[in-house]
Structure 1
Amino acid sequence: MSDSIPSYFLLIEDDDLDILRENLLYEETVPAKLRVENTTHQIEIGYRGSYTRKFRKRSYTIDFDEEDYFFGARKIHLNAEYRDPSLIRNKLSLDFFQDLGVLSPNTQHINFYRNGVLKGVYLQLESVDDLFLKNRNLPFGPIYYAENNDANFALTRDDKPKKSRLSGYYQACGTPSDDDLLREFITNINTTPPSEFTEKILQYLDINKFFSWQVGAVCTMNNDGFTHNYSLYRNSETCLFEILPWDYDATWGRKVSGGIMDHTYVPIGGKPGNKLCYLLLEVPEYRKIYREKLEEILETKFMVNYMEDKVLTLHELIRPHLLLDPYKKNKIDIFDKEPDVIFQFIRMRNDFLKNQLKLLV
């Protein structure tokens, strides 16, 4: 086997593995060991995801002992990418966001073994937490994960009042007083009169970084990325919120189920359920900023010429390992066609968005 991607070796007792299986839908963790190269780490491991827990190939969250950080991280995520026939969409998306200047988790593909048995190719994702900030020399600030569709920046969901302003959010790091700041942010989004909104929002949100994120979400077409599958970080120096992408496997023309998603499915302004996106694009000067950012990316980065080497390099990197993946090796014919599927999506989505730019005038 090629050594072009690292191998991680999980050592777990059968009884502990049974505990995970018996508590499949719960946030249960058990002790185990993880060997990477010549170092063995003491860890806690549990399943991650929601509906993905029922797949044959499951995803994991791994917590490291606080005195035994793993490459500067106390937590990592191992995604099975089970429904993505290419296994590269998540990484391709998060790397794309980095190209746009958006804070985004680092990722890499690995081979994952459990008790000596190969479980296949996984995608390792960096956890977005205080160490994520420290590793980038960024000011400390609270970080929230948008866990479900309640995280739509509105006071309601499906026309029903939400239980609280913070519904849909989980605080990954921060203090109770930080909750007050997020609550205040969401309140002002929803109660500020239109005549005051243009100036008021500047007190809470990094507009340029938000629109860079929106461009990435719209181009890659993550339908779920507008009301969850993102993180919020409040920079303690600027006192402004920034938004980060998270879990972008259902992108580049594929649905969560793995089926083809029509290239017109997500509008040019993003998913209508995101109230913040909607309100920002109601302001002519903000709409102009977004249009100019999107126009530039459509001419420079969201193009086959720019993405081709990135797609093919990732595809060629994991192909020899996929041939040994017990869950994917029988689908190699589909895998081999995926670059063309992605390239066709880029062409069609690019044309669609260019034709829709007139809606942002």
Structure 2
Amino acid sequence: MEIGKKLPEYRLFIHPKDVKELRSDIWNDDPVSAKLTIDGKKFEVDLAYRGSHIRDFPKKSFTVSFYKPPMYRNAKVFHLNAEFKDPSLIRNKLSFDFFHDIGCLAPQARFIFLKLNGKNEGVYLELESVDDHFLTNRKLPLGPIFYAVDGDANFSLMSDLDKEVKKSLSVGYEQKSGVIEDEFHLQKMIMQINTIPREDFEKEIVQYMNVDKYLRWLAGVVLTQNFDGFVHNYALYQNRETGQYEIIPWDYDATWGRDVNGEEMRSDYLRMEGFNTLTARILDCQTYRRQYKKLLEEILHNQFTLAYLQPKIESMYRFIRPYLLMDPYKRESIDFFDQEPEYIYRFIEARAAYITSKLNLLD
């Protein structure tokens, strides 16, 4: 981030009756109309609360959909995340930048300052939506995108929620883009993951999954220690040219040593092998297990180091700290915020040491 650069200011106006409607039922996904001003340019947008448990927090998160003009920064939709439980506010962005740096698809994120009906609402993280525009902006072939919306997105024939056989192999997913037939291919992929014979798995799984990208994603989940990341907090994109799926991280605030409630999480809490059916089957193949080990060694040497990450973290802190003093939800906890860089640095060192000590298990 450039030193001296100002945080973009977004000014949102919602009619009082629509504010009342929003607040009357925080679980209602129906949007209300709003006006948004960015850099002097005015937009008419649809606005809705976003998230699951985060809707209960005092500082709300939003989904913004543009309709007049219909696009902003080559996007139709973006999300404004309050990052309410993350005392640092940077974990999501730090994670997505890290995933990008290790060769994974990941949403772009930037900090903004939000004013709502003239009052300071505080520092938010603007998150790129994973949709057709996400693909177009990266010059990728359009293809189906599925969001993993609950614990049944575990690549298994069995439900992770009730431990019964799934009624449908697409349960746990919400289709974001594509056509109806794409759901059948998703179901076929999950069936193949579970039924390809062990001796054939290494050569046949590449018909369905980009294994290199999956292993990079796996390394990212493991190193940032997103405990929910294996059965939730991701999207699947199928490249129509190759037929292979790639996996995209989502909602990574519960990382870098803290859980979903912002509480401390031990640096050895998540094992190096992770979990879910697909991960287990891929790591059962010696070739892929060795590839994963080599990848972890490279990332531990290059990107998952204090020398690499500390300047990025310090830059984010310097950038947003002055604005937190104007954030009505965060300014009283500024001392807690100031302690977080050192906390994250300790986590990086401890997590790197833990993973390094376990690498021999992949031999």
Q: Give yes or no for TM over 0.5.
A: yes
Partner of 1:184: 188
Q: Deviation at 1:68?
A: 2.2
Partner of 2:214: 210
Partner of 2:337: 335
Partner of 1:4: 6
> Matches of residues 106-125 of structure 1 in structure 2 within 5 Å?
106-125=108-127
Partner of 2:283: 281
1:9–1:35 contact (8 Å) kept in structure 2? yes
Q: Deviation at 1:162?
A: 2.1
Question: Which amino acid letter does the alignment assign opposite residue 261 of structure 1?
Answer: M
Rounded Cα–Cα distance in structure 2 between residues aligned with 1:102 and 1:207: 12
Report the CA distance shift for 1:105/1:46 in structure 2 as closer, same or farther (over 3 A): same
Q: Deviation at 1:224?
A: 0.8
Partner of 1:166: 170
Q: Deviation at 1:66?
A: 6.9
Structure 1's consecutive aligned runs of 4 or more residues displaced over 6 angstroms after TM superposition are none
Question: Which amino acid letter does the alignment assign opposite residue 118 of structure 1?
Answer: N
Report the CA distance shift for 1:66/1:225 in structure 2 as closer, same or farther (over 3 A): farther
Partner of 2:75: 73
1:8–1:112 contact (8 Å) kept in structure 2? yes
Question: For residues 286-335 of structure 1, what are the alpha-carbon distances to aligned partners after superposition, in whole Å with 9 as ceiling and x for unaligned?
Answer: 10111110111011110111101000000110000001100000001110
TM-score of the aligned structures, taking structure 2 as reference length: 0.97
Question: Which amino acid letter does the alignment assign opposite residue 234 of structure 2?
Answer: Y
Residue among 242, 248, 257 paired with 2:252? 248
Question: For residues 108-144 of structure 1, what are the alpha-carbon distances to aligned partners after superposition, in whole Å with 9 as ceiling and x for unaligned?
Answer: 0000011010100000000010011111111111111
Rounded Cα–Cα distance in structure 2 between residues aligned with 1:247 and 1:63: 19
Q: Which moved more, 1:188-197 or 1:178-187?
A: 188-197
Rounded Cα–Cα distance in structure 1 between residues aligned with 2:194 and 2:5: 52
Q: Deviation at 1:36?
A: 0.5
Question: Which amino acid letter does the alignment assign opposite residue 265 of structure 2?
Answer: M
Figure out how many residues of one structure are paired with residues of the other and give that number.
Answer: 358
> Matches of residues 22-41 of structure 1 in structure 2 within 5 Å?
22-41=24-43
Q: Deviation at 1:239?
A: 1.1
Rounded Cα–Cα distance in structure 2 between residues aligned with 1:118 and 1:49: 22
Rounded Cα–Cα distance in structure 2 between residues aligned with 1:119 and 1:57: 8
Question: For residues 217-257 of structure 1, what are the alpha-carbon distances to aligned partners after superposition, in whole Å with 9 as ceiling and x for unaligned?
Answer: 11000001111100110011111100011110000001100
Give the SS at the match of 1:160. Answer: coil
2:123–2:327 contact (8 Å) kept in structure 1? yes
1:145–1:169 contact (8 Å) kept in structure 2? yes
Unaligned ranges ≥5, structure 1: none
2:7–2:113 contact (8 Å) kept in structure 1? yes
Rounded Cα–Cα distance in structure 2 between residues aligned with 1:175 and 1:343: 44
Question: Which amino acid letter does the alignment assign opposite residue 243 of structure 1?
Answer: I
Q: Which moved more, 1:191-200 or 1:71-80?
A: 191-200
2:43–2:68 contact (8 Å) kept in structure 1? no
Unaligned ranges ≥5, structure 2: none
Rounded Cα–Cα distance in structure 1 between residues aligned with 2:30 and 2:69: 22
Partner of 1:238: 242
> Matches of residues 90-105 of structure 1 in structure 2 within 5 Å?
90-105=92-107
Rounded Cα–Cα distance in structure 2 between residues aligned with 1:14 and 1:161: 48
Question: Which amino acid letter does the alignment assign opposite residue 235 of structure 1?
Answer: N
Give the SS at the match of 2:237. Answer: strand
Give the SS at the match of 2:6. Answer: coil
Question: Which amino acid letter does the alignment assign opposite residue 267 of structure 2?
Answer: H
> Matches of residues 123-134 of structure 1 in structure 2 within 5 Å?
123-134=125-136
Q: Which moved more, 1:65-74 or 1:166-175?
A: 65-74
Give the SS at the match of 1:233. Answer: strand
1:66–1:74 contact (8 Å) kept in structure 2? no
Question: Which amino acid letter does the alignment assign opposite residue 45 of structure 1?
Answer: L
Rounded Cα–Cα distance in structure 2 between residues aligned with 1:226 and 1:304: 26
Residue among 242, 266, 270 paired with 1:266? 270
Partner of 1:43: 45
- Percent sequence identity is 45
TM-score of the aligned structures, taking structure 1 as reference length: 0.97
Rounded Cα–Cα distance in structure 1 between residues aligned with 2:238 and 2:133: 15
1:250–1:256 contact (8 Å) kept in structure 2? yes
Q: Deviation at 1:157?
A: 2.4
2:207 matched to 1:223? no
Rounded Cα–Cα distance in structure 2 between residues aligned with 1:118 and 1:178: 43
Name the Cα RMSD after superposition. 1.0
Rounded Cα–Cα distance in structure 2 between residues aligned with 1:227 and 1:337: 31
Question: Which amino acid letter does the alignment assign opposite residue 87 of structure 1?
Answer: L
Rounded Cα–Cα distance in structure 2 between residues aligned with 1:98 and 1:283: 26
Rounded Cα–Cα distance in structure 2 between residues aligned with 1:46 and 1:148: 20
Question: For residues 46-104 of structure 1, what are the alpha-carbon distances to aligned partners after superposition, in whole Å with 9 as ceiling and x for unaligned?
Answer: 00000000000010001111752011100000000000000000000000001011111
Give the SS at the match of 2:74. Answer: coil
